[in-house]
Structure 1
Amino acid sequence: MTQASAQHRAHFDFSISFANGGGMSGEGFRLDLPRPDLSAEEIGVLLVRHLGLALVRDVDLRGLRIVEETHRGSRGADAAAPGVDRVIDLSHPIEAGMITYPGLPAPAITPHLTREDSREKYAPGTEFAMDIITMIGNTGTYLDAPYHRYADGGDLASLDLNTLVGIPAEVFHLRDSWSADRRGIEAVTLADRELAGSAVLLDTGWSSRFGTPEYAAGAPFLTEGGARFLVDVGVRIVGIDSLNIDDTESGGARPAHSILLAAGVHVVEHLTNLDTVPAHGARFTAAPPAVRGFGTFPVRAFATTSESH
């Protein structure tokens, strides 16, 4: 991370007292900072704003440390600044023989017309290559349409581009929020933001294992309660950088797919590079080709964000 784009968080314990009586405290709290040179008083104000508190009398921060660390989505820290647009690629490249999901066939790429053969068909000095790719729709970074789960659901050709292009992104940086014995992402983890109309992107860090045997087991996922919550608040897209939006190790049930796709919420799986996307302020695009009678296809998923000068 360059000095210009470095992000910082404050680590501290705190006690808060209220003007009308009572108080609250916390240990090991972490808070995103808009810049690293904030005073303890300014960080206290950010904390109150992040927690949505009223009638606060005093804020006492203890053991305050400011650390260079990627933002996780604290309210008030990521105010947009004017700058130039940056495009962040969130897709795994597709190549012959790659394994996306264990048990599914790898793509095969074969020539239809080689450059050598094309020289006989075109003017001197002009040549082309035309290749054939054979692959399952669940290859690389791909989007699920309702037809993937439901026979009467909309196929890829039916999807409205307005729900796929330039959608406000809310990225939940969860790399330190799950463990091997608690892999499910619950509704309560996603409840601190306004998410209506957004693309909710779940950054678990699991994409670092993509293409290895370790990618296939123990992956984080969205719980049934988390999926119901996201439908209830009106999100448009849910994406994850993991093996599956569901827990593939709990039998054949797929509650997250079932709930999201029944509500017309697009699902994008096998994302990557989500750690480079800010928690707020970016826009997400993941548009598949308009194939009739097809429910899943690779996308070139990307985020656009503004970088200050």
Structure 2
Amino acid sequence: MRIIDLSTTIDADNWEPDPITHTPMTHRQGADHMAAAMREHFNLDLPADALPDGEFLNNDTFTLTAHTGTHIDAPAHYGSTATYGTPRTIDQLPLDWFHGPGVLLDVRTDHPATIGADRIRTRLHAIGHHLTPGDIVLLHTGADTRAGTPAYFTHFAGLDHDATHYLLDHGVRVIGTDAFSLDAPFPHIIETYRRTNDPTVLWPAHVAGRHREYCQIERLANLGALPAPTGFTVMCLPVKLARAGAGWTRAVALIDE
């Protein structure tokens, strides 16, 4: 079985609207930390220099949001209430949602905007695939080529209301994208709202989660490495963060060779 990594790297050197803080602990600092912990918690005296080479285990502290890097939005992210009941947090969702047949839709465009239902139907027809419940649909927008730069957060394509509900109507519970958001870029959404004064254009893919229980995988990568639009399995188990609206995932595609 071949494994293709579909996840972005969490890197404090990359540009983020919510910056990442990375504080490394060296092996020498690890020894000092262990000696201090032994004294504080167990009243044991273990000098740092007594450890081999005066070193112990290093460690890293990252400060970041649950929506940094490749992550899964839980229903609780979309709103405090839902028409179907109480929205579940990421730790409450069944794991079988995040392991299933993958469907890759190439929706790359030179004009960042919205992706409508007609385009989804056209791409499905082009690859000869009929959606079935449990399919995990991955949108290849090409946005991951700008990851780590400010343009990644403003130049991409996202689903509109009809496209989102079209996928959900066919039993899809997990929709992924290599873009920053499953919705269109913020400037496009706000400009459309100002022009139309229509509140339904405001983040329709996310707001759909207040009426339909589903998850989004945002900030995928490497979708162009998939050899075919179908015939692979997606594994994207979320980190079990208690009461959180999202959780990081190391998303991969599994290809049986």
Which of the five TM-score ranges fits, normalised by the shorter chain? 0.7 to 0.9
Residue aligning to 1:75: none
Partner SS for 1:268: strand
Per-residue CA distance 1:122-149 (angstroms, 9 max, x = gap) = 7425620122211111111111001111
1:110 aligns with 2:110: no
Report runs of 4+ in structure 1 exceeding 3 Å deviation.
Answer: none
**1:260-299 pair list within 5 angstroms:** 260=209, 262-277=211-226, 278-299=228-249
Label 1:117 to 1:211 Cα distance change in 2 as closer, same or farther (>3 A).
closer
Q: TM-score, normalised by structure 2?
A: 0.77
Per-residue CA distance 1:4-47 (angstroms, 9 max, x = gap) = xxxxxxxxxxxxxxxxxxxxxxxxxxxxxxxxxxxxxxxxxxxx
* Residue identity (%): 28
Contact 1:170 1:200 in 2 (8 A): yes
Which has the higher Rg, Structure 1 or Structure 2?
1
Which structure carries more relative contact order (alpha carbon 8 Å, separation 6+)?
A: 2
Residue aligning to 2:139: 202
Q: TM-score, normalised by structure 1?
A: 0.65
TM-superposed deviation, 1:261: 5.9
Letter in 2 for 1:250: I
Residue aligning to 1:238: 175
Contact 2:117 2:164 in 1 (8 A): yes
**1:1-309 pair list within 5 angstroms:** 85-100=1-16, 104-111=17-24, 113-119=25-31, 120=48, 123-125=51-53, 127-151=56-80, 152-165=86-99, 167-175=100-108, 178-180=109-111, 183-191=113-121, 192=125, 193-196=129-132, 197-247=134-184, 248=186, 249-251=188-190, 253-260=202-209, 262-277=211-226, 278-307=228-257
2:29 and 2:114 mapped to 1: Cα distance? 53
Per-residue CA distance 1:250-287 (angstroms, 9 max, x = gap) = 12811111214642221011111111112001111112
Letter in 1 for 2:170: V
1:122 and 1:222 mapped to 2: Cα distance? 59
Partner SS for 2:163: helix
Partner SS for 1:214: helix
CA RMSD of superposed structures (Å): 2.0
Q: Determine which structure has the larger helix proportion and give its number.
A: 2
Residue aligning to 1:50: none
Label 1:99 to 1:286 Cα distance change in 2 as closer, same or farther (>3 A).
farther
Partner SS for 1:283: strand
2:110 and 2:159 mapped to 1: Cα distance? 14
How many equivalent residue pairs?
Answer: 215
1:226 and 1:238 mapped to 2: Cα distance? 11
Letter in 1 for 2:137: V
Q: Which runs of 5 or more residues in structure 2 are unaligned? A: 32-47, 81-85, 194-201
Contact 1:97 1:108 in 2 (8 A): no
Partner SS for 2:167: helix
Partner SS for 1:250: helix
Q: Determine which structure has the larger strand proportion and give its number.
A: 1
TM-superposed deviation, 1:218: 3.3
1:209 and 1:97 mapped to 2: Cα distance? 14
1:288 and 1:246 mapped to 2: Cα distance? 21
TM-superposed deviation, 1:297: 2.5
Letter in 2 for 1:229: Y
